[in-house]
Structure 1
Amino acid sequence: MNSPVAHAPQVEVVVSGCSASDAGSLFAELCRHFPSDRRAEDTPHETAGSRPTMWTGTFDTSTLPGTPERQVPPPSLSGPVKAELQGEPRAVERLRHALDETFVVHQLGVVAGDQEVDVELRLESRGGD
């Protein structure tokens, strides 16, 4: 590679297979670490009908991911949450690291493209925290 490729810090997160409350807890936790197009207090809502509901948010991982001081206990999920992360590999890894700090993370699949990666995860509450 002769010229450096600009780092694209945005990661799109798609959450499904869970309640609106669990989606809100996940997004609020990510907002503690990274700027987003969502506010931490934005509450997802359920939709009527038989179609599956998905919630999305975009997070900017260009800031160094620190561990912000926790003012409240880590969020507890009522059950497993499916999350799909899509973006530049380094950006996705930063966001995944933030998830690893709070949740039990199981990687279900990865699709790697030329300059993007799509990672499917299952997140669960940590026991005994």
Structure 2
Amino acid sequence: MTDTTPVHGYAPTVVGVALSDCTPQDAEAALRMLSTAFRSDRTPSERPDGDATVWLTTVDTASQPAPCEAEPLTGTVTADLQGGHEALDRVRGALATAFTVTGATAASGDQEEELHLRLTTRH
């Protein structure tokens, strides 16, 4: 079972995720996948605010991601990730098992990296 203890603050294993340019239903599917795969500040059953234009979560990649299936997306989801290099690799890898991940653009610093990804349903 996935540990759903809230995650807050900076740690090398923590990744901040911002989802945008999508429907609330697609944001919910991506958030559910992330909160099932990793310890998160959300629970898998938590529904995102339907009036939002950006949906946020923080995940901790200290443990291997739990296997999970993603619901099909109706369109494209933009995912902006920020965190440590290894932590981002884990989140990107987990997303790639659930969705088709394209358009990876990155900005790197000494300790952190930012990734801009596009998620679509796997075919």
- Normalised to the residue count of structure 2, the TM-score between the two structures is 0.86
- Cα offsets for 1:62-92 (capped at 9, x unmatched): 0022425x5xxx3100100000010000001
- Cα offsets for 1:15-73 (capped at 9, x unmatched): 000011111100111112101001111111222xxxx71010000000022425x5xxx
Aligned counterpart, 2:32: 28
After superposing on structure 2, the runs of 4+ consecutive aligned residues of structure 1 that deviate more than 4 Å are none
Distance 1:39-1:66 versus aligned 2 partners, 3 A rule: closer
1:101 paired residue among 97, 104, 107: 97
Aligned counterpart, 1:92: 88
Shift of 1:109: 1.2
Bigger CA radius of gyration: 1
Report the residue type matching 2:17 in the other structure: V
Question: Is the 8 Å Cα contact of residues 36 and 66 (structure 2) preserved in structure 1?
Answer: no
**Structure 2 portions without partners, runs of 5+:** 1-10
Distance 1:18 1:12 in 2: 18
Shift of 1:8: 1.0
Question: Is the 8 Å Cα contact of residues 104 and 126 (structure 1) preserved in structure 2?
Answer: yes
Paired residues for 1:11-90 under 5 Å: 11-47=15-51, 53-68=53-68, 74-90=70-86
Distance 1:55 1:30 in 2: 12
Identity of aligned residues (%): 35
Distance 1:66 1:22 in 2: 20
Q: How many residues align?
A: 113
Question: Is the 8 Å Cα contact of residues 35 and 61 (structure 1) preserved in structure 2?
Answer: yes
